Amino acid sequence: MTVKSKIEEIIRAIGAMDVGAAEAYHALSGRSRKKVLEALDGEGLRSLTRLIKEAKRNSFNAAEKRFSAAAKGDIATPVYLIDETLIEENMRVLRYVKDRAGCRILHALKAYASFATFPVMSKYLDGVCASGLNEARLGREEFGKEVHTFAAAYSEKEIGQIVKHSDVVIFNSFHQLREYAQEMRKRGLETGLRVNPGHSEVTARMYDPCAPNSRLGVACKAFKREYPGHKEMIDGLHFHAMCEQNSDVLERVLKSFEELYGQHIHGLRWVNFGGGHHITRDNYDIERLVRLINKFKKRYGAQVYLEPGEASVLNAGVLISTVLDIVKNRTEIAVIDASAEAHMPDVLLMPYRPHVMGSSPAGRRRYTYRLAGPSCLAGDVMGDYSFNDPLQRGDKLVFTDMALYSIVKNTTFNGIGLPDIAVMRKGGRIDLVRSFGYSDYRNRQS
Ligand SMILES: Cc1ncc(COP(=O)(O)O)c(C=O)c1O
Q: Which atom of ligand 1 is nearest to the CA of 277?
A: 11
Show Cβ contacts of residue 372 under 8 Å, excluding neighbours closer than 6 positions: 333, 334, 335, 336, 340, 380, 381, 382
**Structural contact between residues 415 and 108, judged by C-beta atoms closer than 8 angstroms:** no
Q: How far is the CA of 25 from the centre of ligand 1 (A)?
A: 29
Q: What is the pLDDT of residues 70-122, one digit of tens each?
A: 999 999 999 999 999 999 999 999 999 999 999 999 999 999 999 999 999 99
Q: Which atom of ligand 1 is nearest to the CA of 194?
A: 1
Q: How far is the CA of 307 from the centre of ligand 1 (A)?
A: 7
Phi-psi region of 352 (alpha: psi -120 to 50; beta: other; left: phi over 0): beta
Positions in the chain whose pLDDT score sits under 70: none
Q: Does the Cβ of 273 fall within 6 Å of ligand 1?
A: no
Q: How far is the CA of 310 from the centre of ligand 1 (A)?
A: 8
CA 63 to chain CA centroid, nearest Å: 19
Q: Does the Cβ of 374 fall within 6 Å of ligand 1?
A: no
Smallest CA-to-CA distance from 253 within 292, 302, 304, 225 is with: 292
**Structural contact between residues 406 and 346, judged by C-beta atoms closer than 8 angstroms:** yes
Show Cβ contacts of residue 78 under 8 Å, excluding neighbours closer than 6 positions: 319, 320, 321, 322, 337, 338, 343, 417, 419, 420
pTM of the model: 0.97
Q: How far is it, in rounded angstroms, from Cα 269 to Cα 257?
A: 17
Q: What integer pLDDT is reported at residue 177 of this predicted model?
A: 98
Q: Does the Cβ of 307 fall within 6 Å of ligand 1?
A: yes
Q: Does the Cβ of 243 fall within 6 Å of ligand 1?
A: yes
Q: Which residues of 370-392 are buried (b: 16+ CB within 10 A; e: fewer)?
A: bbbbbbebeebbbbbbebeeebe
Q: Does the Cβ of 239 fall within 6 Å of ligand 1?
A: no
Q: How far is it, in rounded angstroms, from Cα 316 to Cα 60?
A: 8
Phi-psi region of 95 (alpha: psi -120 to 50; beta: other; left: phi over 0): alpha
Q: How far is it, in rounded angstroms, from Cα 212 to Cα 194?
A: 16
Q: Does the Cβ of 275 fall within 6 Å of ligand 1?
A: yes
Q: Atom 5, ligand 1: which residue's CA is nearest?
A: 275
Q: Atom 4, ligand 1: which residue's CA is nearest?
A: 275
Q: Which atom of ligand 1 is nearest to the CA of 242?
A: 10
For 83, 118, 310, the CA distances from 141, given in Å and listed in that order, are 23, 11, 22
Q: Which of 135, 273, 307, 408 to mutate to test the pocket of ligand 1 (most atoms within 8 A of CB)?
A: 307
Q: How far is it, in rounded angstroms, from Cα 349 to Cα 369?
A: 22
Q: Does the Cβ of 274 fall within 6 Å of ligand 1?
A: yes
Q: Does the Cβ of 132 fall within 6 Å of ligand 1?
A: no
- Of the chain, the end-to-end C-alpha distance in Å amounts to 64
Q: Which atom of ligand 1 is nearest to the CA of 274?
A: 3
